[in-house]
Amino acid sequence: MARLRFGVQLLLNPFLPYLVEVPQASSNLPLRNMLINTLAFWLTFLFWSHLSLSGIHSTKVADPFHLMRRIFASSPRTFMELGIYPIVISRYMMDFLAGYQRPTIVNSYQMILGIIITIVQAFGCIKYGLYGQLGWVDSLFVMGQILFGGITVIYLDQYFQKGYGLISTGVTPFIAANICGSIIWKAFSFTRIKSGRGAEFEGAVTELIHVLITRTDKVGALQEAFFRQNLPNVFNLLLTIVIFLLVVYFDRFYFGLRVRSTNVRGAKNTIPIKLFYTSYMPIILQSSSVSIIYLFSQFLHWNFSSSLFTSILGTWKLCEHSGQFIPVGGLAYYVTPPASLANMLADPIHGILYVAFMVGGCTLISKAWIEVSGRSSKRLLKKLWKQQLTLDGERNSNMGRKLNLYIVTAAVYGGMCIGVLTVLGDLMMGPFGTGAEIVLAATIFCQLSDTLEREHRL
């Protein structure tokens, strides 16, 4: 039986009898069924993401989660208020508490942790006043709706983990759907927004077509559509596409690890060690860490604004343009990407510290994740020995050192590359989002493409 650190399982064991487990999918589930299931799970998530909460009131309180909503696939004032945040945090905690053990009982503990996190966060949203001033009955009603949405996401993720979908986790398709949907909306939206130039279409492509048709000065129209401020423009859209393609390009880098059989003479094969060995996990965990900093710093800023620790962790102010709070000092400010290259040059200390935090953080997380997730060289070595394989041209005594060299190098350089691409995205995408979002969407797309290719070969 799996054991958790710090005796956490003793606290979670009483809840196990009330948990409904998702059965493991058949190992020969057809690809067509997996595609249909994936689409059904995705549409279910989108449905609850657009269903508004009942019993809430309008409020002018700024959204404390606005900086991290898209990356955690959350939709404000809907059943998916928390998105995948409970799943990510519970998985993060479980990887720390249980290491790379993954028996069924550990999976059950993760589900219980996710439900507890959902309840705590729902209570925090209500207490903060995100839905206006609610009485006890309305508060419980709203909390029940958020809890239902959280449990729905947890079980959708379980269906993915148990093999009913194309990939092994529900986190990735929900994130990709949220991010890509936002980019498509900002590219083609027909919503009219009043600005200093008059009423404009929100969508960059929509506004481009509109100004080319209605303006006589075509050069001026193109210049306005490509470089307009405070709204999505065509230039930012093109840069977003470039960053996406760059991530896809680097994701295809791999080193072929040549192995041979110790039983069958002349039998050789190649095991690919990808540059992005840890895939999207560095940016997921990095974003989770930043979100925790945001939440704690906002809580301290609103309740203990005069404290020295509050000044160190982060100070916030209301942005008149967006109507949301943004960090303006402390740690929360320096882990937030600069709004543009011009802002970075205007505050070079902020830019340098942010680049160091993002690139260094992704590198360290990527290196640590190979141990936590069970993808270290030792685990791969045991797997090769079990399959009676050895490295071609290497002695058995030297295999561990060679595997460690290849895997650690891939993890370190892959994490560093993801950090650099994230920074480039932050500086180039503008209103279309952040670098973390486009890197996540692109790596998820590549993973899904690899899965489809692998299933097709089988």
Residue type, 105: I
Q: Do domains 1-21+30-169 and 248-458 have the same CATH topology?
A: yes
Residue 306 has what pLDDT? Answer: 83
CATH superfamily of 1-21+30-169: SecY subunit domain (1.10.3370.10)
Residue 347 pLDDT > 80: yes
C-alpha 167/C-alpha 146 separation (Å) is: 26
DSSP state of 304: -
Among all chains, which residue has been given the structure tokens 């962790």? 313
Residue 102 has what pLDDT? Answer: 53
The SS3 assignment for 3 reads coil
Residue 104 has what pLDDT? Answer: 58
pLDDT interval class at 356 (50, 70, 90): very high
C-alpha 130/C-alpha 139 separation (Å) is: 11
For residue range 258-293, what is the model confidence (pLDDT) as tens digits?
888 877 777 778 888 888 888 888 888 888 888 888
Taking the whole predicted model, whether its pTM rises above 0.85 is answered as no
Do 244 and 442 form a contact (C-beta atoms < 8 A)? yes
Strand 254-261 and strand 198-201: pairing? unpaired
Residue 169 has what pLDDT? Answer: 74
Residue 101 pLDDT > 60: no
Among all chains, which residue has been given the structure tokens 């239902």? 148
Give the neighbor-by-neighbor strand order of the sheet with 254-261: 268-274, 254-261, 389-391
Structure tokens at 80: 């998916």
Residue 120 has what pLDDT? Answer: 92
Domain 248-458 falls under CATH 1.10.540.10? no
C-alpha 73/C-alpha 167 separation (Å) is: 17
Percentage, residues of the chain above pLDDT 70: 94
The DSSP annotation for 69-114 comes to TGGGT--TTBTTSSTTHHHHHHHHHHHHHHTT---HHHHHHHHHHH
DSSP state of 128: H
For residue range 78-99, what is the model confidence (pLDDT) as tens digits?
999 998 888 888 887 777 776 5
Do 134 and 61 form a contact (C-beta atoms < 8 A)? no
Each domain of the chain, given as residue ranges in start order, spans 1-21+30-169, 186-247, 248-458
C-alpha 32/C-alpha 9 separation (Å) is: 39
Residue 19 pLDDT > 60: yes
